[in-house]
Structure 1
Amino acid sequence: MAQLESEIAELRRHHLRVAELTDVVAELVVPMASRDQERIDRAVESFSQSL
């Protein structure tokens, strides 16, 4: 049972990270489409700090 709980916790961490990466991509799509370099730089910096 403990191993299963550990694996579930690991999956939750992975799902959270995927959600964070999805947010970063969403933050980059609109600025990149509009060529807003300032917003792109902020999104990339925010992502870098979260690592």
Structure 2
Amino acid sequence: MNADKLRSNLRAWREERSGERIPVRARLRALEEEVQELRQLNRRIAELTDVVAELLIPIQDRDEAKVAEVLERYRSGI
């Protein structure tokens, strides 16, 4: 989450806590930003899970070349 989004969400939270009404559109925008961030995090988790799964079999088989290849592919994708 970038700094602007964080400030916006913090401002909305403070307004909500103080009892002020938050416009529906502003709340919706904040929720949409949070959902997008969660989607990105979920995608990243899925990518990491794939890497772990790809590493488990070569490690079990002691295939160092395959392990190095998978790690290199992962590192180049970061």
TM-score by length of 1: 0.96
Structure-2 separation of matches of 1:17 and 1:46: 15
Find 1:37's aligned residue among 49, 54, 64: 64
In structure 1, the residue matched to 2:16 is: none
Identity fraction in percent = 41
Instruction: Return the alpha-carbon distance in structure 1 between the equivalents of residues 42 and 76 of structure 2.
Output: 19
Gaps of 5+ in 2: 1-27
The size of the alignment, in residue pairs, is 51
- Residue 15 of structure 1 aligns with an amino acid whose one-letter code is N
In the TM superposition, 1:1-51 aligns within 5 A as 1-51=28-78
Question: After TM superposition, where is structure 1 displaced by more than 4 Å over at least 4 residues in a row?
Answer: none
- The runs of 5 or more residues in structure 1 that have no matched partner are none
2-structure distance, mates of 1:21, 1:4: 26
Find the structure with the greater CA-based Rg: 2
Instruction: Determine which structure has the larger helix proportion and give its number.
Output: 1
Q: What's the TM-score, normalizing by structure 2? A: 0.64
- Computed over aligned residues only, the root mean square deviation of the Cα atoms, in angstroms, reads 0.5
Q: Which amino acid aligns with 1:2?
A: R
